[in-house]
Structure 1
Amino acid sequence: MVVIQFFENNTLVLSQLVNNIPAVDENIKIKGRKGKVLSVKEVDGNVVHVHVALEKVIKKQLLLKDDKKRRR
């Protein structure tokens, strides 16, 4: 078992205890976001740092409030 710490821009995104280590250029999904593994670095005997590039979150704009509706 290996502890994998996923980083995006030097920010820890997720720590996981898993059996297999992801390979470079592998597509992964973390917290519902698609991403790609950039680098894998073994830090300690059972700790691995994985740097990933996740897709950007696109926030939807709120609908404009329609003030023309009649109030009751």
Structure 2
Amino acid sequence: MFAVHFLENKNVLLCQLLRQVPKEGEELKIKGRKAKVTSLEPIDEKTFHVQVTLEPVKKTKTVVADTSKKKKK
């Protein structure tokens, strides 16, 4: 079992105990977001730091239609 720390820049995203360490270029899903392993840094024989890049979140604009009825005066 290996202690794997997933990092984006210097922010820790996730720490897990895994049986296999992910390889460079591998596609992952972390917290529901797609990520790609960019580098792997062994700290000691059981601990690894894995640098990942997350896919940017696409923001969708919601169109709000005016459904209010105007009163006649």
If the TM-score is normalised by the length of the shorter chain, which range does it land in? 0.7 to 0.9
**Equivalent residue number for residue 19 of structure 2:** 19
Deviations 1:15-72 (A, max 9, x none): 0011000000111111111111000011123110000011011233344362x5138x
1:46-65 to structure 2, matched below 5 A, reads 46-64=46-64
The secondary structure found in structure 2 opposite 1:28 is strand
**Equivalent residue number for residue 70 of structure 1:** 69
Where does structure 1 differ by over 4 angstroms across 4 or more consecutive aligned residues?
A: none
**Equivalent residue number for residue 39 of structure 1:** 39
CA RMSD of aligned residues (A): 1.7
Percent of counterpart pairs with the same letter? 39
**Equivalent residue number for residue 7 of structure 2:** 7
What TM-score, normalized to structure 1?
A: 0.83
Segments of structure 1 that go 5 or more residues without pairing to the other structure are none
Aligned length: 70
